[in-house]
């Protein structure tokens, strides 16, 4: 068995799909501590939460934190920073195996993809030059002011009526033969219509409650004779 001792380090990184509020609650239950006292674990700074662990205990810590949604690394005590980084990277597969092979986030500072520098383009700019600062590159065309002869024009004083309205004379209508009737007078006599001569001597009025033109209920026909029918 290895005689190395480890420490558990967190930087506030959450597992994929984890929600911060739920992770804080789970970590508080894991350490049996109020969530308000664990804010430093989620500040983004490097925090050591446990020291002096053997490898098995360190991996159990990493797996428990990972199950609660918080990523951590197990670093070997007493070695250089580069060795600790190597140990942290080497512990990541074991952490994923302990957590059920679930995907996770790489530790801070790990380069996942090495970028290949693109070569500078070979462009011939020998035929180009740069003008000094402030030089006007495009000459603006000067448009001369139009020559308009206004010698025959003048301005009227303020308030002058520029257009005179045509005066229409009142019409001379002779109303001497007209007069006005008194209020309420009937101007047109309506034609007299004589009353219509209708002979009602042959008509009389039935007493109240008499049956006048009501339809009598009809007796339904007798049912058909089915004595000669039988069921098979």
Buried b (16+ CB within 10 A) or exposed e, 100-113: eeeebeebeeeeee
212: in domain: no
Say yes or no to pLDDT of 144 above 70: yes
38: in domain: yes
- Give the residue numbers spanning the domain of 75: 6-98
Confidence of residue 71 (pLDDT cuts 50, 70, 90): very high
Contact criterion met (CB below 8 Å) for 118 and 29: no
200: in domain: no
Contact criterion met (CB below 8 Å) for 99 and 63: yes
154: in domain: no
Q: What is the pTM of this model?
A: 0.35
Say yes or no to pLDDT of 94 above 50: no
Say yes or no to pLDDT of 119 above 60: yes
Is the alpha carbon torsion for 28, 32, 35, 40 positive or negative?
A: negative
Give per-residue pLDDT as tens, 214-230.
777 778 888 888 787 77
Strand partners, 53: 6
**Token representation of residue 116:** 């290949």
State the pLDDT at residue 203.
84
Say yes or no to pLDDT of 101 above 70: no
Percentage of residues of the chain with pLDDT beyond 90? 1
182: in domain: no
State the pLDDT at residue 107.
53
Say yes or no to pLDDT of 112 above 80: no
Say yes or no to pLDDT of 87 above 80: no
Nearest to 19 by CA among 27, 7, 30: 27
DSSP string, 165-213: PPPPPPP----TT---PPTT--SSPPPP-PPP----TT---PPTT---S
State the pLDDT at residue 95.
40
Give per-residue pLDDT as tens, 148-205.
888 888 888 888 888 878 888 988 888 888 888 889 888 888 888 898 888 888 888 8
37: in domain: yes
Q: Is 72 exposed, middle or buried (0-12, 13-18, 19+ CB in 10 A)?
A: buried
136: in domain: no
194: in domain: no
**Token representation of residue 18:** 């984890």
Phi-psi region of 65 (alpha: psi -120 to 50; beta: other; left: phi over 0): alpha
Count of structural domains within the chain? 1
Give per-residue pLDDT as tens, 23-40.
889 888 888 888 888 888
Q: Mean pLDDT score of the chain, rounded to an integer? A: 78
Say yes or no to pLDDT of 102 above 50: no
Q: How many residues in total does the chain contain? A: 232
**Token representation of residue 113:** 């993809």
């Amino acid at each position: 068995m290895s005689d190395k001792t480890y420490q558990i380090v967190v930087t506030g990184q959450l597992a994929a799909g984890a929600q911060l509020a739920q992770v804080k609650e789970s970590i508080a239950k894991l350490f049996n501590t109020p969530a308000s006292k664990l804010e430093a674990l989620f500040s983004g700074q490097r925090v050591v939460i446990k020291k002096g662990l053997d490898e098995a205990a360190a991996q159990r810590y990493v797996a428990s934190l990972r199950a609660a949604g918080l990523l951590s690394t197990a670093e070997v005590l007493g070695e250089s920073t580069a060795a600790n980084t190597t140990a942290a990277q080497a512990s990541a597969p074991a952490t994923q195996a302990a957590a059920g092979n679930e995907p996770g986030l790489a530790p801070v500072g790990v380069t996942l993809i090495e970028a290949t520098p693109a070569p500078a383009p070979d462009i011939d700019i020998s035929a180009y030059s740069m003008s000094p600062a402030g030089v006007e590159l495009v000459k603006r065309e000067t448009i001369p002011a139009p020559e308009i002869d206004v010698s025959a024009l003048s301005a009227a004083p303020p308030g002058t009526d520029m257009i005179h309205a045509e005066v229409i004379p009142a019409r001379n209508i002779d109303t001497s033969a007209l007069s006005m009737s008194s209020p309420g007078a009937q101007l047109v006599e309506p034609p007299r219509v004589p009353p219509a001569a209708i002979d009602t001597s042959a008509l009389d009025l039935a007493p109240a409650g008499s049956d006048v033109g009501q339809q009598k209920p009809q007796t339904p026909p007798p049912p058909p004779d089915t004595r000669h029918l039988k069921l098979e």
